[in-house]
A and B are shown apart, each in its own frame.
Chain A
């Protein structure tokens, strides 16, 4: 049978959403550093405002440079579209507020980035949104936590910092049985390592600050819609019926638009742009979008090298006497090893943690002895990074929550960059030796 032609991931990384600038012929995507865009005439202006014509009005709502980035990430994820926002946190916030409000409930993995945990555990309750945190590996716990007012299930493709592999097919099936969408934070994996929509997830977001941009120079977020969820429960998920009035009932804030009727496939994105970005305003700057686009152009090449370097460092660390444990799903000792082989055949990313077999002082000595690894709060940079989660990214968590998330006083998180792996291993070896002498 004739097979359909499809453009490969590498090519989409370079071209999706972009074309030579029609005005100048510029091959690179221009930075449209303009707050707003001229209307040809009054009728055209009115038509743009009322979604009767395509185009840009004001850069908080949409911008041509950001639009290229939005198309590109949607293409790479296999979605219908995306919205570029100010940060990964803004993307998570936008996803939640588009679907639910006061009285709503989220079931989330407890193995989350500390910032996501802050939003869900401390901030959103003030606005009437509650979250139940569950062990991401325990599907029964996900099921038990679902309430009548639950509107969203949320986890990370690779949990932070223990790299718990989210069993997306099973959690998504559970969500869909209850008429709920599954949102995943795919920051650690990027679409090169995993395409969550193909596994059943409905919404994906990224902190594009990390591997997508890849060079630690921007803050940005991307929210992608699979276009697969049946928001009004008329085709696939009858249990969804009545649960998402923001998408299925007339919205007085936009001429009584019913988003699922306006767009069969992209109702979520429409609401997110026509309300969330419009009113909360956490838009991405066009220069930021340009820099992320530059990063994505080399995403396949960089991710391959990130993973190769990580494998070499993992192999080194697991043999070192001062290292108590290395948590990387490619190791048979990791609890999600078998699942990782199935869901992450290209590799398990370049961020992982290991535990020093020593004191807190030895941990500090190790970090302060590193010369190539930079001690900072970020991951996914071309340069290698290191941090001590218990005292930084996860310091607001209680001791009990830290333990549940698999973090100890001796846990060190590495983000492996693109340097020569021999130099990285030499750097780690020296620092481990220094720590061991204490």
Chain B
């Protein structure tokens, strides 16, 4: 689906299903230098089980126009603008990494617009190393290689993809390589500069799922503990032997957690 948001065309994967206003809506938000494709299995499931799915490409990413937004709060506000464009009063937000921070911000700043919140691979704060920032700023391929190397747990570096025939790390690298110059740096700086996450978390009242990978090197689980403590209504779950690319490494386990969370009251 393509929808105009703030003067730019935005792409949202819907699982090839029409948007039905009477159905609940789930907004999937990808992380830095990614696009909607990281949610392929999970988003498709919900699209075919009674929900409107909007797995968006953030501005400047994938198939969406515009420039990458420079702050987590700006991305959070943009998510609500997407809901506005489609007349969605309230949605479930599911975000990964940078997308989780944006979903957190959106929920804190627009509490009446979010029914449930799922944060995958979050950390608050989410500092980014100078090495990675420098490489990203230079649009050096090393930045993509570093991210890819840190995104998968050690066991998955050699494969064993549950999706038959896909080389997981190769797929991850190709996806990030498609990022337009400057976008990765903008994304990483947004993560790095977001320092109000714990204040935002404290304001959130809706049910919240925090899903972590025990072997996450990009956003280590200990970096999420303060966030979990600050969230008043959170359920936290850690997937063993899983890195930052949770949806790729353990797609079924992630889906099962999301099914349980989205379906719960």
- Nearest chain-A residue to B63 (Cβ)? A234
CA distance A74 to B165 in the complex (A): 8
Question: From residue 160 to 209 of chain B, which have CB atoms closer than 8 A to chain A?
Answer: 160-167, 169-171, 174-175, 177-178
Decide yes or no whether B48 CB sits under 8 A from chain A. Answer: yes
Most A C-beta atoms less than 10 A away, residue of B135, B165, B166: B165
A67, B165: Cβ atoms closer than 8 Å: yes
The smallest beta-carbon distance between B87 and chain A, in angstroms, is 23
Decide if B165 touches A273 in the complex (CB within 8 Å).
yes
Q: In the complex, which of the residues A18, A79, A227 contacts B160, with contact meaning CB atoms closer than 8 Å? A: A18
The answer to the question of B88 belonging to the interface, with a C-beta cut-off of 8 Å to chain A, is: no
A52-73 CB contact bits vs B (8 Å, 1 = yes)? Answer: 1111100001111011101110
Q: What mask results when residues 224 to 258 of chain B are scored 1 for a CB within 8 Å of chain A, else 0?
A: 00000000000000000000000000011001000
B127 within 8 A of A: no
Chain A, Cβ-Cβ closest to B176:
A265
B174 partner residues in chain A, CB cutoff 8 A: 80, 226-228, 265
In the bound complex, what is the Cα–Cα distance between A227 and B169 (angstroms)?
A: 12
B35 within 8 A of A: yes
User: Which of A170-178, A212-220, A255-263, A426-434 is the interface stretch?
Assistant: A255-263
B175 touches A52 (CB 8 A): no
Query: Looking at chain A, what size class is its interface with the partner chain?
Result: 35 or more
Closest approach, in angstroms, between the C-beta of A124 and any C-beta of chain B? 25
B164:A53 contact, CB within 8 angstroms = no
- Chain A residues contacting B148 (CB-CB under 8 Å) are 4
* Cβ of A50 under 8 Å from chain B: yes
Assess whether A2 is interfacial by the CB under 8 Å rule.
yes
In the assembled complex, the CB of A36 is this many whole angstroms from the nearest CB of chain B, namely 14
Say yes or no: B170 contacts A78, CB within 8 Å: yes
User: Judging by beta carbons under 8 Å apart, are B35 and A264 in contact?
Assistant: yes
Q: Are A15 and B158 in contact (CB under 8 A)?
A: yes
- Tell me, yes or no, whether A6 is within 8 Å of chain B by CB: yes
**Complexed CA–CA distance, A70 and B164 (Å):** 8
Q: Which residues from chain B contact A386 at a C-beta distance below 8 Å?
A: none
Q: Which of A2, A17, A47, A78 contacts B158 (CB 8 A)?
A: A17
Assess whether B77 is interfacial by the CB under 8 Å rule: no
Set A5, A51, A70, A227: member contacting B41, Cβ < 8 A = A51
Contact across chains for B48 and A50 when beta carbons are under 8 A apart: yes
Whether B131 and A2, one on each chain, are in contact in the complex, defined by CB atoms closer than 8 angstroms, is yes
Cβ of A269 < 8 Å from any Cβ of B? yes
What residues of A have a CB within 8 angstroms of the CB of B135 in the complex? 1
Q: Which residues of B contact A82 (CB under 8 A)?
A: 165, 167
Given A70-B165, A81-B170, CB of A264 within 8 Å of CB of B149: no
Interface 1/0 per residue, A104-131 and B, CB below 8 Å: 0000000000000000000000000000
Q: Is B139 an interface residue (CB 8 A)?
A: no
Pair A269/B44 contact, Cβ less than 8 Å:
no
Docked-complex contact A7 and B158, CB < 8 angstroms: yes
A-B pairs under 8 A by CB, number? 150
Whether A81 lies near B16 (C-beta < 8 A) is no
Output the least CB separation between B165 and chain A (Å): 4
Is the pair B252, A250 in contact by a Cβ cutoff of 8 Å?
A: no
* B159 x A71 contact (CB < 8 A): yes
* Residue numbers in B under 8 Å from A250 (CB-CB): 16
B69 within 8 A of A: no
A28-60 CB contacts (< 8 Å) to partner B: 47, 50-56
CB-CB < 8 A to B251: which residues of A? 53-54
Verify A264–B175 contact, CB threshold 8 A.
Answer: yes
User: Quick one: which of A5, A72, A255, A258 contacts B149, CB cutoff 8 A?
Assistant: A5
List CB contacts (< 8 Å) of A285-337 with chain B: none
- A75 interface residue (CB < 8 Å to B): yes
Chain A positions within 8 Å of B44 at CB level: 50-52, 262
Check if B67 is an interface residue, CB within 8 A of chain A: no
For B45, give the chain A residue with the smallest CB separation: A52
Selected from B35, B37, B157, B252, the residue in CB contact (under 8 A) with A54 is B252
A257 to B164, CA, bound (A): 18
Residues of chain B within 8 A (CB-CB) of A4 are 142, 145-146, 148-149
Output the residue of A7, A83, A227 with the most chain B CB within 10 A. A227
Closest to B161 in A: A71
Q: A371 within 8 Å of B by Cβ?
A: no
CB distance from A308 to the nearest CB of B (A): 29
**Do A74 and B41 form a contact, CB below 8 Å, given A54-B162, A54-B251?**
no
Q: A84 — which chain B residues lie within 8 A by C-beta?
A: 165
- In the complex, the answer to whether A75 meets B131 with C-beta atoms within 8 Å is no
Are B146 and A2 touching (Cβ within 8 A)? yes
**What are the residues of chain B within 8 A of A256 when measuring CB–CB?**
16
Chain A residues near B40 (CB-CB < 8 A): 51, 262-263
Residues of A within 8 A of B160 (CB): 17-19, 71
Cα–Cα, bound, A340→B92 (Å):
57
B60 contacts chain A at the CB level, 8 A cutoff? no
- The residue of chain B having its C-beta at the shortest distance from the C-beta of A223 within the complex is B165
Q: Jot down 6 A-B pairs with beta carbons below 8 A, ordered by A.
A: A1-B131, A16-B158, A66-B165, A71-B159, A82-B167, A264-B37
A residues at B contact (CB < 8 Å)? 1-7, 12, 15-19, 47, 50-56, 61-64, 66-68, 70-72, 74-75, 78-84, 226-228, 234-235, 250, 255-258, 261-266, 269, 273
Instruction: Point out residues on B near A: beta carbons under 8 Å.
Output: 11, 13, 16, 35-37, 40-42, 44-45, 48, 62-63, 131, 134-135, 142, 145-146, 148-149, 155, 157-167, 169-171, 174-175, 177-178, 251-252, 255
Top 7 closest pairs, chain A to chain B, by CB: A62-B164, A4-B145, A74-B167, A54-B162, A227-B174, A52-B45, A70-B165
Using A12-B158, A67-B164 as known contacts, list a sample of 19 further A-B pairs with CB atoms less than 8 Å apart, ordered by residue number in A: A1-B134, A2-B146, A15-B158, A17-B160, A18-B160, A19-B159, A47-B45, A52-B41, A52-B255, A55-B252, A61-B164, A72-B159, A79-B170, A80-B167, A226-B174, A250-B16, A264-B37, A265-B178, A273-B164
